[in-house]
Amino acid sequence: MAKPLSGVRVLELARILAGPWCGQLLADLGAEVIKIERPVSGDDTRHRGPPFVVSDSGENLGPAYYHSTAINRQHETGLNAHIDMTLLDTQVSVMANQALNWMTSGTVPRRVGNGHANLVPYQALPTSDGDLVIAVGNDGQFASLCRVLGVGLDSDARFPTNPGRVRNRKVLLAALEALTATWTRQELADALEDAGVPAGPINELDDVFANPQVIARGMAITRDQRTGVASPIVIDGVRMVSDIAAPGIPETVEEPLTSS
């Protein structure tokens, strides 16, 4: 039986996480996916953690995504589809790098706190006034981190490449924690942003909704004097949110429902 996206050709130019994951899903559904990577070295995820060649952590596999593929097949063939997508299958599939770590090495992964099994440093690190998540995804970003912190750890034979950093996780994190603790959270976040190193604070909810970007995106909404969180879907510049609020208790339907 032809898969729902058979005959669809996709040019996939993304890297590291969400885009390549989407390309894999499209290929699973029958599309011909032409994957373009950086010459010679390939995608950053090909260099993450001994002794593995892995993808990254999972993204949401929403049923709406698969519903859209069924609609595509209906348009192409006139046939409907039965979608069988269990919670168990979904959770197993999004184990991604952890599952592949075990499949390629035979070693059962162990807990690494809020760290990343295949990347170091990629976790919350302490500052003088709170934790800051620093997400070093490649060796260049690690060198930039070291320049910001004013330390030559990237010249240490144990740390210049990610496999070495993963092998020497404990000693490296101890050294980094001592350095980041001398900065305020905002000062370090700003310095890392200027250096091109992904980082961000661990926010309380009041911090989230005070964030300028969250405000600009209109993520807090009010309908009928009730507050709520907006849908993340924006189509043609219009955020997809209901014009009315959900009914409260003990409100009831005042008019009977009739078929049109």
**Same domain, residue pair 131 and 77:** no
Same domain, yes or no: 99 and 15: yes
List pLDDT tens digits, range 24-64. 888 888 889 898 888 888 888 777 755 444 634 434 444 44
> Domain for residue 115, yes or no?
no
Neighbours of 12 (CB within 10 A): 18
Model pLDDT for residues 131-175, shown as the tens digit of each residue: 999 999 999 999 999 999 999 999 999 999 999 999 999 999 999
- Residue 114 is assigned to a structural domain of this protein: no
Whether residue 17 is contained in a domain is answered as: yes
Note whether 25 and 48 are within 8 A (CB): no
Mean pLDDT of the chain: 84
| 101 and 16 within one domain | yes
Tell me, yes or no, whether 20 lies in a domain. yes
Domain total for the chain?
A: 3
Question: Mean per-residue pLDDT for 111-128?
Answer: 94
Query: Mean pLDDT throughout 181-194?
Result: 97
Residue 183: CB partners within 8 Å, gap ≥ 6? 127, 128, 191
Residue 253 has pLDDT above 70, yes or no: no
d(CA 80, CA 71): 8
Tally of CA atoms within 13 A in the half-sphere of 2 that contains its CB: 15
Q: What is the residue range of 140's domain?
A: 122-206
Residue 210 banded pLDDT, cuts 50, 70, 90: very high
**Residue 112 belongs to some domain of the structure:** no
Instruction: Label residue 169 left, alpha or beta by phi (over 0 means left) and psi (-120 to 50 means alpha).
Output: alpha
**What is the rounded CA–CA span in Å between residue 84 and residue 43?**
32
pLDDT at 233: 85
Whether residue 256 lies inside any domain: the answer is no
Residue where a domain terminates, one of 105, 139, 165: 105
**In the structure, what pLDDT confidence band is assigned to residue 70 with cuts at 50, 70 and 90?**
low
Question: Is position 223 within any domain?
Answer: yes
Q: Is residue 19 part of a domain?
A: yes
Residues 192 and 134 grouped into a single domain: yes
Do 90 and 155 fall into the same domain? Answer: no
Residues 189 and 231 in one domain: no
- 95 shares a domain with 16: yes
- CATH classification of the domain holding 167: 3.30.1540.10
